[in-house]
Structures are given as C-alpha cells and as structure tokens.
C-alpha cells in the first residue's frame, strides 16, 4: 500500500483538514457539539490514518512512543490539577468559580483546561491502542 | 438498521461483521441526530464507527477470519435472551411517554441547569456546561476510566509471551 501514489496524495491532503476539524471540535465545544473526548478521538484517527499509509516508523518519528504514553497520564493529571487549583484558591475540589475574579470567566477557564485534559488522555489512549495492534501485526514487540 | 442487524447475526465472516458494526454505528449516529443529541451522535460516529472499527480490524488481523461454529444448540441462550427482552419491554410500559415534560427526570436538576446554566457558566452548549462543570467530578472519573483501560491494554500487550502460542497463531493464520 505504501507505493500507492493516489492514496499518499489524498491522505496528505486530508490529514490537515482532519486535524483542523479536531481542533475546531475541541475549542468550539463550548458553542457547538463536541468537546475533549470527540476531539481526542478525531486527532488520534488522523494519526492512525497517517500510520496506515506511511507506516509505523514514520508515525513514531512524529509522535514518539514515550510522548504518547506520557500524554495518557498527563491528561488525567491536568484534570486533577484544575481541581486542586480550585482547592488552593479557596473553593471546593473542581470549583471553577474561584479560578478568575469574574466567576463566569473562571468557569470558562476551568472548562477549557478540563476539556483539554480529557482530549489529551483520550488521544493518548486511542493512539497507543492502535500502535500496539499495529506493532503486533508487524511482529514487533 | 434492521437489515444490518439481521445480516450481522447471520454472517460468519468476521471481516463483514466488523464492517457492518461500523455501518450500524453510523446509522445509530443518525438516530442520535434525529433525537437532537448531536454530542452523542458525534461521539458515536467518531468512536463507534471510526476508532473501534479500526481496532477491531487490527484485532481481526491477529486471529482467524471466520467465526467458529457453536459447539451446542442455541436453545438455552435463546430462551434467556427472549425472556430478558420481554421483561425489559414490560418495564418500558411504566416509563413516561417520550419527551413528556412532567417526567421525573425533567423535574429534578434539569430545570436549574437550563435556567441558570448559561448565566452561571456563560457557555451556550448545555452539554459541555453540565459535563465539564456541574458534573466535573463524574467526568474526572470517566477520564480516569479511559486512562486505566489504556494502561491495562498496554500492560497486556507488553507482557512477555512464550514462543509456542505464537507459532500456533502463525500456523492458524497461514491456514486461513
């Protein structure tokens, strides 16, 4: 499949749009449908598509295994961090009102970081699962 | 959707099962859109039809292409399924009618979210507001579940495998 010119060109054209759509879903989640979970999945799907056409080695060069594994944990930690930030600023755990002087802006800030945490973890897990299957199919690991 | 399900149940080719599951997920996503649950529809399309089809195909590559024939008659499982289905249908008789505003679920916290949500959080998408803010703790739990599932699979794949099952698997693949 790697020699197929049509696939390579089409995928190269498509991937930027998929990534852009993932970012749109992530940051427009406040206004339209979407959010961290969906965005993380779409982002991982874009990289999975890249892997299918250009191979696992090239994908690993873009996103190293260690980074993906770190992201799995980093997302949860970011979420927890937002919760603890609320505690430190004098509110309850996961209380966003205290994150800014203006409570509504605080909510915005809290939700933004929380959604980012969800997206990072979901992206990491989805991509890692795909990589594990792909590596095993190739007989690596 | 009915056709998809019937073909799904009848076919023994695992490849078509996987593809049909993806198709079913897409149809399910359209049902969600029809029910005005666009967030759920998006998740269903991205996860159900996209990533899980991909992962299933990856798993399929590791095993046989055909479903094994059942070793016994399906009467007992069939009876259990039919009885459970009938009990569930009986249970739906007591549910309030679809989109009934007087239903218990619309009387508890939902009116407060709808009235105060946009003012308190400044976020027009109610789903995001409830998910990330009012039910933040719940979402934290869900993220932790995804995290745990992920590291569980990593742990399973990373363990050292004895050489024998590997050779057997390769032989099985060549057979198929």
- Contacting residues of A for B120, CB less than 8 Å apart: 103-104, 107
Taking the whole predicted model, whether its pTM rises above 0.90 is answered as: no
Statement: residue B54 has pLDDT above 70: yes
How far apart are the CA of B98 and the nearest CA of chain A, in angstroms? Answer: 23
Domain count, chain B: 2
What pLDDT shows up at residue A2? Answer: 53
The answer to whether B15 contacts chain A (CB < 8 Å) is no
State the smallest CA–CA distance between residue B51 and chain A in angstroms: 7
The answer to whether residue B44 is domain-embedded is yes
**Phi–psi pair at B13, nearest 5 degrees:** -85, 115
DSSP H helices, chain A, are 5-27, 36-54, 56-62, 65-88, 103-137
Residue numbers of the domain that contains B6 = 1-66
Closest of A83, A82, A56, A53 to residue A68, by C-alpha = A56
Report the distance separating Cα B173 and Cα B161, nearest Å. 18
Asked whether residue B94 is domain-assigned, the answer is no
From chain B, pick out residues whose CB is under 8 angstroms from the CB of A41. Answer: 43, 46-47, 50-51
B12 domain-assigned: yes
CB A121 within 8 A of CB A40: yes
Residue B101 lies in a domain: no
| Residue B66, strand partner residues | B13
Q: Which of A77, A103, A87 is nearest to B140 (CA)?
A: A77
Higher pLDDT, B96 or B57: B57
Which residues touch A133 (CB under 8 Å, ≥6 apart)?
A: B55, B58, B59, B61, B62
pLDDT tens-digit profile of A42-96?
Answer: 899 899 888 888 888 888 888 888 888 888 888 888 888 888 888 887 777 777 7
Using CA atoms, how far apart are residues A30 and A52, in angstroms rounded to an integer?
32
Predicted confidence at residue A140, as pLDDT, reads 57
Q: Which of B18, B38, B66 is the last residue of a domain?
A: B66
Which residues are B13's β-sheet partners? B66
Chain A residues within 8 A of B47 when measuring between CB atoms: 37, 41
A45:B51 CB<8 A: yes
Q: Are A131 and A65 in contact (CB under 8 A)?
A: yes
pLDDT band at B162 (very low <50, low <70, confident <90, very high): low
> B34 in a domain, yes or no?
yes
Which tens digits make up the pLDDT trace of B77-98?
889 999 999 999 998 888 777 7
Contact residues, chain A, for B157 at CB < 8 Å = 132, 136, 141
Closest CA to B22 of B2, B59, B47, B58: B47
Residue B49 lies in a domain: yes
- ipTM higher than 0.85? no
Query: Could you tell me if B120 lies within 8 Å of chain A, comparing CB atoms?
Result: yes
| Domain boundaries, position A116 | 5-137
Q: How far are the Cα atoms of A64, B12, B167 from residue B149, in angstroms, in the given order?
A: 21, 29, 28
As a whole number of angstroms, the distance between CA A67 and CA A70 comes to: 5
User: Who among B120, B124, B150 is closest to A125 (CB)?
Assistant: B150
Number of domains present in the structure of chain A: 1
């Amino acid at each position: 499949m790697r020699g197929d010119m049509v696939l390579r060109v089409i995928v190269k054209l498509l991937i930027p749009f998929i990534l852009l759509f993932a970012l749109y879903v992530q940051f427009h989640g406040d206004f339209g449908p979407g959010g961290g979970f969906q965005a993380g999945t779409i982002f991982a799907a874009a990289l999975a598509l890249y892997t299918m056409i250009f191979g696992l080695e090239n994908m690993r060069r873009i996103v190293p295994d260690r980074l993906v594994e770190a992201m799995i944990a980093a997302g949860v930690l970011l979420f927890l961090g937002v919760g603890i930030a609320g505690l430190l600023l004098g509110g309850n755990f996961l209380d966003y009102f205290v994150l800014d002087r203006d409570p509504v802006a605080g909510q915005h800030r809290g939700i933004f970081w929380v959604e980012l945490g969800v997206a990072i973890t979901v992206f990491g897990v989805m991509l890692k699962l795909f990589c594990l299957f792909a590596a095993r199919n190739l007989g690596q690991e | 959707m009915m056709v998809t399900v019937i073909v799904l149940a009848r076919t023994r080719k695992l490849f078509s099962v996987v593809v049909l599951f993806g198709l079913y997920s897409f149809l399910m996503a359209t049902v969600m859109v029809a029910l005005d649950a666009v967030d759920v529809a998006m998740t269903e399309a991205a996860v159900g039809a996209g990533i899980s089809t991909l992962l299933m195909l990856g798993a399929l590559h590791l095993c046989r292409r055909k479903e094994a024939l059942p070793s016994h008659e399906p009467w007992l499982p069939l009876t259990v399924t039919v009885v459970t289905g009938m009990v569930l249908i009986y249970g739906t008789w007591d549910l309030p009618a679809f989109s009934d505003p007087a239903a218990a679920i619309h009387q508890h916290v939902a009116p407060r979210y709808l009235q105060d949500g946009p003012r308190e959080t400044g976020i027009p998408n109610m789903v995001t507001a409830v998910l990330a803010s009012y039910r933040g703790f719940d979402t934290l739990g869900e993220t932790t579940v995804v995290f745990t599932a992920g590291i569980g699979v990593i742990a399973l794949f990373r363990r050292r495998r004895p050489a024998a099952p590997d050779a057997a698997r390769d032989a099985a693949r060549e057979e198929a």
